[in-house]
Amino acid sequence: MTFRFRIIQLVLLTIGSGFLYSQDIHFTQFNMAPLTYNPALTGAFYGSVRVGGLYRDQWGSAYNTPSFYLDSPILKGFRKQDWIGVGVSFFSDEAESEYLPFDANTSSLRGTITTGGLLASGAYHFALDKERNTVIALGVQYGTVTKKVGDKFQFEDAILSGMPTQDILPENDQGKNYLDISGGLTITGKTTGQSFYRIGVSAMHINQPRASIIGSGSGTKLPMRIVGYGTYHMDLNEQLMVTPSILFQNLGTASEVAVQGMLGYKIPDQNTVLKAGLGYRLGDAMEVLAGVDYKDLRVGASYDLTLSDLKAPNNAFELAVAYIIRIYKRPKVDPVIFCPRF
């Protein structure tokens, strides 16, 4: 192995760790991925069981993220109006990443990084009144995340052609498992009629795990991700409703702000709501949103139109589905024998 290749390997081992964990999962339809953004949303619905999933496809097939979750308000709290929600979520994020050149004579390095996680979450919902008009929830999430580098990392040009690039990542360093802990807080309140608001804040990766595949210094820790959001659902009349939302995220030196607005139309006597809207991720992309609610089934779709310098290759499509299962016990009625009077 040449001296120059040893130098390249040394540089990757010392500063390459950042590129190996810099991509954290995110969704345009953040309202359809509750457990991904705040564990306090575990069990935050009326029903028995909620099951949902979201699939994001970006850059064609080079970047895709499926996510699934299941949760339930399974237990009563210390008071009648309180309850405890438990849930589990899974995600798999496959991204084609690029390590930028560290000098003018070296090409960039490309490869695929796959991140998968299985996380359990729980939340306590504290109602401020018996009618549950205002509910404060505290949640925590805990699980295992696996990060793996694809088998083939390649340089773009032929400057280093013929060199065994697979030696950059030793065989025993091609995978990484770590524990991930997150926590969150939400406040949900009813206003008038069916209108309500929800605000929340969460801290993801509280333990700041060592998530990098290569390197072991303090710089290999996954930064804490701070998430704040707010949404307000307002009925304009019996058929029309509007839902504005805002999301803020910060991960290390990177931050994101997204604003959205959805307009819904309820079809009379059909238990169906048609929804459409627009969103904007500051400095990055325009978001086109659409969806339909049918009874306890919600389906959503979105398309990102990139406005940044990355242009068309960054366009992304999402499809989301959520379903609430309602299981109620039938009331036991004692038999009554009617005795006719004569």
SS3 of residue 312 by DSSP? helix
3-class DSSP assignment, residue 12? helix
DSSP 134: E
pLDDT score, position 172: 45
- Supply the pLDDT for residue 60: 59
Three-state secondary-structure class, residue 97? strand
Token pair for 184 = 């969150």
148 beta partners: 114, 175
For residues 182 and 206, what is the distance between their CA atoms, to the nearest angstrom?
A: 5
pTM of the predicted model over 0.85? no
Tally the C-alpha atoms within 13 A of residue 29's C-alpha that lie toward its C-beta: 31
Rounded CA separation 6/12 (Å): 10
User: At 162, is the secondary structure helix, strand, or coil?
Assistant: coil
Mean pLDDT for each consecutive 10-residue tract of the chain (342 residues)?
Answer: 46 41 76 95 95 87 85 91 96 70 48 87 95 95 88 48 50 73 97 91 93 61 93 94 97 92 93 97 93 96 84 78 86 52 44
- Radius of gyration of the chain, Cα coordinates, nearest whole angstrom: 24
Tell me how far apart the terminal alpha carbons of the chain are, to the nearest angstrom.
110
Residue 321: which H helix or E strand, with range? strand 316-325
Measure the CA–CA gap between 325 and 108, rounded to whole angstroms: 49
d(CA 260, CA 132): 27
The DSSP secondary-structure symbol of 342 reads -
Quick one: which of 301, 304, 294 has its CA closest to 320?
301
Q: What top-level class would CATH report for the domain 3-325?
A: mainly beta
Query: Domain extents for the chain?
Result: 3-325
